[in-house]
């Protein structure tokens, strides 16, 4: 039983730390994954929901750890249960939570800037190109918003030639290359 409690506590601490990094804007992957989805509208990643969920699990497991030493166990477990209930309700009523979330918990600044500067198609391309990046490059772009936006601009420039015109056909940059340039 102690091994399971150690595992749950360690996992909840790890994911609580991960959610904190997302909220601070130092981890971009979960927010970029929301751009990959197709559908009539974009469903934003609400950064507070995973944080609240993992905080509730961490507090509940902390209450189990403290149960041997004091009566503080009930308080921690009860607060963990209440937070888990709030998180479950927030996941079930996503649209209402989204409106409230935008007022209470702001997104990182790079997220707002990316949404202002790009179309949905370009954000989707950035998200899929993010998956192709090596691990160390992702770490670099996670830690530096300036380098991330330089890379995102390169991805956007690559998507310009694939955009669909209003007339229908896909633009092709083939007219810029001549056959006699190839050696």
Predicted confidence (pLDDT) per residue in 131-175, tens digit: 999 999 999 999 999 999 999 999 988 877 655 544 455 445 454
* Band of residue 2 on the pLDDT scale cut at 50, 70, 90: confident
Q: What is the pLDDT of residues 5-57, one digit of tens each?
A: 889 989 999 999 999 999 888 999 988 988 888 878 778 888 889 999 999 99
d(CA 158, CA 122): 9
Q: Where are the domains of the chain?
A: 2-160
Take residue 173 and report the two structure tokens written for it: 């940059």
* Contacts for 127 with CB less than 8 Å, ≥ 6 apart: 32, 33, 34, 35, 36
Q: What share of the chain is helix, strand, coil (3-state, %, to 5)?
A: 75, 0, 25
Number of residues that this document lists for the chain: 183
Among 146, 177, 147, 173, residue whose Cα is nearest residue 160: 173
């Amino acid at each position: 039983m102690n091994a399971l409690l150690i595992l749950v506590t360690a996992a909840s601490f790890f994911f609580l730390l991960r959610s904190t990094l997302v909220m601070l804007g130092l981890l971009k992957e979960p927010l970029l994954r929301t751009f990959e989805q197709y559908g009539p509208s974009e469903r934003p990643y609400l950064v507070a929901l995973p944080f609240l969920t993992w905080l509730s699990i961490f507090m509940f497991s902390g209450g189990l750890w403290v149960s041997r030493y004091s009566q503080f166990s009930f308080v921690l477990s009860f607060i963990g249960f209440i937070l888990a209930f709030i998180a479950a309700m927030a996941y079930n009523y996503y649209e209402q939570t989204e409106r409230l979330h935008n007022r209470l918990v702001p997104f990182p600044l790079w997220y707002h800037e990316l949404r202002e500067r790009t179309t949905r198609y370009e954000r989707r391309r950035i998200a899929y190109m993010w998956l192709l990046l090596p691990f160390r490059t992702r770490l670099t772009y996670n830690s530096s918003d300036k380098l991330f936006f330089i890379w995102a601009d390169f991805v956007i420039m690559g998507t310009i030639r694939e955009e669909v015109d209003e007339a229908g056909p896909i633009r092709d940059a083939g007219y810029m290359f001549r056959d006699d340039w190839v050696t």
